[in-house]
Structure 1
Amino acid sequence: MNVEFIEALNQLEKEKGISKDILIEAIEAALISGYKRNFHSAQNVRVDIDRDSGQVRVYARKAVVEEVLDPRLEISLEAAKEIHHSYELDDIVEIEVTPADFGRIAAQTAKQVVTQRIREAERSIVYEEFVDREDDIVTGIVQRTDTRYYYVDLGRTEALLPHAEAMPGEKFQHGDRVKAYITKVEKSTKGPQVFLSRTHPGLLKRLFELEVPEIYDGTVEIKSVTREAGQRSKIAVHSHDADVDPVGACVGHRGLRVQTIVKELRGEKIDIVRYSDDLKEFVSNALSPSKVVHVDIIEREKMARVVVPDHQLSLAIGKEGQNARLAAKLVGWKIDIKNESEFDASAHQVEDEKSDDEGEEVTASLAIEKELES
């Protein structure tokens, strides 16, 4: 190896971000194995590559002992002092044993090591880049597909979008641009594997952060999100500034902000509701767009019993229970919904049962009094 080789390592360090010293140390370690393999040596050796000239030297390392049992690993004190008078027992003496044609082996080994380390370093760099981006949005281009995945080119690596994580009815072709959410990043023998999703609630959250400056700067906070991808979603927002309406900020002027997100999600309906620390108020808001007449909180069951106007029962429950289901997930409590007629009927029934119980108590008391009189 020579000066050009060192210059090439310097260039790699600049372009790939791979430390020259790490590469040289890896080459030195590989050359030790190469030396022992090619020259059938059992010696304890050290390989040194000059950081400036690229010259390679091999040194046999021998321990200084009184009696030499293995001349490949040991040297007598007398012989050591002939090399340098300062050596003492138990010191390590290094003797150059560089073979004449070792340069050819060194060049081959260096090429293999550098190629391998470049590949490993690039994989490591890509992994570190994307593992820090878990729970974030990326945009890529669909390269191909098979029965399980869409393969999405993210520039530095190819990500996997499972068909099950695409929205219902969503099909991608080669060359389609897709925006998705990184769910996890894993190391594998083939390099980092990045998994994407278009159905994860986090995608909706990140889209709002991109479209709504008030969320990005922390003025408005997203408290909770729930989705049934491709159909409907709910997002609860709270403002830390009394002068900023959180719902209005998310909707945007003439609904521009939310419509951009709806378009990205292929027409998915989005309910933006105001978060409240008052659970009754939060439950009422979560059942939007229906109106709520009354809310009872049952702490032990972690359930909210809600009364809505008769004509809004179906709206509160939603198609196939979707609105009520999403509201319950958004709040984190069970929600039992009744219309006013059902609520009044059940209340009257309770009153009637109470009256019957009181009547039975009076009858029983009269019977006891008669028995006492007789």
Structure 2
Amino acid sequence: MTVDSTAGAGKAPRAAKKAAPRTRAKAKAPRTATTAAAPELVQLLTPEGERVEHPDYSIDLSPQELRGLYRDMVLTRRFDGEAAALQRQGELGLWASLLGQEAAQIGSGRALRDDDYVFPTYREHGVAWCRGVDPLNLLGMFRGVNHGGWDPNQNNFHLYTIVIGSQTLHATGYAMGAQMDGTDSAVIAYFGDGASSQGDVNEAFTFAAVYNAPVIFFCQNNQWAISEPTEKQTRVPLYQRAAGFGFPGVRVDGNDVLAVMAVTRAALERARTGQGPMLIEAFTYRMGAHTTSDDPTRYRHDDEREAWALKDPISRLRTYLADNGLADEEFLADIDAESDRMAKRVREGVRNMPDPETLAIFDNVYADGHALVDEERAAFAEYQASFADAAAGEGH
């Protein structure tokens, strides 16, 4: 389906639907539609929950798989909301919410094979869920008790990367190594629209293209690089940048979990068969703040957020499931109950996280130790001991 990527930024989707009524030969059957608008946006499920077809990308999922995608998005959103609440309660130092981006993350995450490798930023909580990382483990770094609470090699999911864009270089190098090893696994690197302006990302594009690396660059364009809108970052749609580096790019409706999965699957297969990298721009929206230290009301209007709320990724899939008899009230209630149980476990787990040993910060800096680190550890230990000595002195 070819649609205007800016549709819905002004008018609500349902109003647009009424203005241009259409007939269908068969109720609930997918349709194919085109317009003259550009740039193209791959879409398989409209904001109203209607299945459509695209000439280049398709997907055929069982009712169980569709319900699984719904469950993934609902549980991910509940976890994300719980983490934001914990930060407001002083239990976490910071939190980067994915609210509104669930389809982009779940759709791409579920398209991966177990032997594929993921390089995330700090917001890929939904992808982490798909890779089997316990949600509670994501919170240790934000509570300040560890540097990442999971083994990257166990889940083929790298630790969160705070440095903007650097993970794209790591992903490209890893993909080049996998290529030399002769495996057919692929690599995916996540980043945001703001990171696309970073030098590291553009260097990664160059290396990936020249070496034909099996890496997918997955850009979640949520419209705002903190307080800077996308139009202040680029003169062309982000996916079109790929052409300048010598590989294809595609823009997909990032709030459509089916389209995201279809496009990501195709890109991964392309990489596996030696056709090189691809850029996916998931056109979505950041419904909340950049992080809990940000105030989005200072730089964007409520009507923009309200327009995007009508394109909610969870609501459109729920509508599709209900309209086609693929999910009943009992199923929906069970998912809500599961969400409540997970939220309770996360709350209790965060508050019971043990504080690390203070000197552990010096461990694992170098594989074989280092004289300077040893000196710093000794100095810090002496500094710590001085407080105990002072307290003992006051006791006398």
Bin for the TM-score computed over the shorter chain: under 0.3
Rg larger in structure: 1
- The structure with the greater share of residues assigned to strand is 1
Instruction: State the TM-score, normalized to the length of structure 1.
Output: 0.22
